[in-house]
Structure 1
Amino acid sequence: MKTRSAGRRSNRRTRIVDTGEAHPHLTGAIDELLLRLAGGGAGDALHLYSREPPAVTYGYFEKAAGAVDLAYCRNEGIVPMRRLSGGSAIYTDRNQIVYAIATRDGLSGSPDAVYETVCGGIAQALESLGVDASYKKPNDVQYGGRKLSGSAMTRKYGGVLVHGTIIIDLDRVRMERALRLPDKHRERGAASHGGRVTSLAEVLGKAPPTDNVKRALVAGLCERMRAKPFYKPLSADEKVKALELVRTRYGTDKWNLRR
């Protein structure tokens, strides 16, 4: 399903925070911090990053032991982490870009409407890189029937957080070992995670430069949100607050393994 451009930009501005490769616990904390700031009226933000070391992140309501192979992750140095949003478990490492949009009123309407805006922007970004990508309801962007990007959403702290991945390249062996296949996928006849996904490297024949993908994402998402991007890294005070969220939430077993 193709989506059309949202048209001209308004006077809305979106802050771009690019943290590069970062520890999974810190990336989760920054996502939450930006959501809290946006909900409090600080404005929209788009957080871009990759995770290093690798991580498996699972939805807020999932049981960690049911979603991932915790013993394998421990032995391989893969970090298990619970997300604020719902949805199924995913594997990420430095070969995927993760995006997170935090806004108070920049994404309105039903969940379907929000996903259509965001996934439309991602599809537009991938098209600019030479990929015939399309939005598939409710929250995927695909190529040839296989997922290139998946997203999840939550409404908390007075704002909306939509985050997801763009698969530049993929370690299929680690992904298959780290993730347990959900019952809903088995019921649909899926034998593994790998058959459902692809990567930009597979589609294009080689992995595009990460910076090119990030620029395309900023352009596509900001156009769909009718916003002008501006780059502003975390302040010293914001870094302190993010590290406190790591200490009290994202870096704790109480949060990550509580279900």
Structure 2
Amino acid sequence: EIDLEAVKDLGLGFVRRPTGGRGVLHEHELTYSVIVSEEHPEMPKTVTEAYRVISEGILKGFHQLGLEAYFAVPRTDEERSALKNPRSAVCFDAPSWYELVVEGRKVAGSAQTRQKGVILQHGSILLDIDEDKLFRLFKYPNERVKERMKSAFKNKAVAINEISSRRITLDEAKEAFYKGFAEGLNIELETYQLTEEELAYVNKIAKERYENDEWNYK
């Protein structure tokens, strides 16, 4: 469903994430990643509940910025059905269980996977959004459908700087969510610098797997 010609024309990269899910344009945003053992005493056994616990950090981050964010909980059969059978490949098109929303619109998108006893949850927190560029990256049956989806999107997703009373910089967002994760997860964060050996290993994995067409198109 992604228009790879448009990706190329816009000079963007393309990668398939191990958590799956719908498409994200990584641009004017703050991304986060949490890696934790499934055996951690604070981690619930179910994906949905673990998602809620980890997302508490994002919730508190929004509160640090003075935004009244809250967790979305699909209540009707129609809303639950939409989660299983999404009409759009655009990630921010609909909130899922415990997704973060402000004024009814999605402000952060997250995904989780569990492998070998380890939980990975990562996501994207929008500071700004270029809707024209985003919708150029997906395929639609015709222009009319594309415009209809684009128009509906405005009621479903929003960026921080559209709803904040002042412009939030990336550095301010980093600080807010740093404090938010510390508070929401009740942890003390320590800065860590990768060693040259670790960095070399990261680059090796990127080159041998995640930058390969074999991984991204399979």
Alpha-carbon distance in 2 for matches of 1:220, 1:136? 18
- Equivalent residue, structure 1, for 2:189: 229
Residues 1:130 and 2:66 are matched in the alignment: yes
Shifted more, 221-230 versus 83-92: the winner is 221-230
Counterpart selection for 2:172 from 192, 205, 212:
212
Distance 2:48 2:55 in 1: 10
Query: Aligned pair 1:196/2:153, yes or no?
Result: no
Task: Give the letter aligned to residue 114 of structure 2.
Answer: R
1:80 Cα offset (Å): 1.2
Match of 2:51 among 98, 105, 115: 115
Q: What is the CA-CA distance between 1:142 and the residue it aligns to?
A: 0.8
Please say if residues 59 and 184 of structure 2, whose CA atoms lie closer than 8 Å, have aligned partners that are also in contact: no
Correspondence for 1:99 among 28, 32, 35:
32
1:83 and 2:17 aligned: yes
Match of 2:111 in 1: 152
Gap change, CA 1:195 and 1:77, over 3 Å in 2: farther
TM-score by length of 2: 0.78
Whether the 8 Å contact between 1:103 and 1:160 is mirrored in structure 2 is: yes
> Which one has a larger percent strand, Structure 1 or Structure 2?
1
Q: Which 5+ residue runs of structure 2 have no aligned equivalent?
A: 74-96
SS at the partner of 2:189? strand
- Give the total of aligned pairs: 184
CA distance in 2: counterparts of 1:79 and 1:195, whole angstroms: 28
**Secondary structure of residue in 1 paired with 2:51:** helix
- In structure 1, stretches of 5+ residues that fail to align are 1-65
% identical aligned pairs: 23
Q: Deviations over 1:118-172 (max 9, x none)?
A: 2222121111111111111314111111111011000013310000011011111
Secondary structure in 1 aligned to 2:25?
strand
Does the residue aligned with 2:59 lie in a helix, a strand or coil?
helix
- Following TM superposition, the consecutive aligned residue runs of length 4 or more in structure 1 with deviations greater than 4 angstroms are none
Q: Which amino acid aligns with 2:4?
A: L
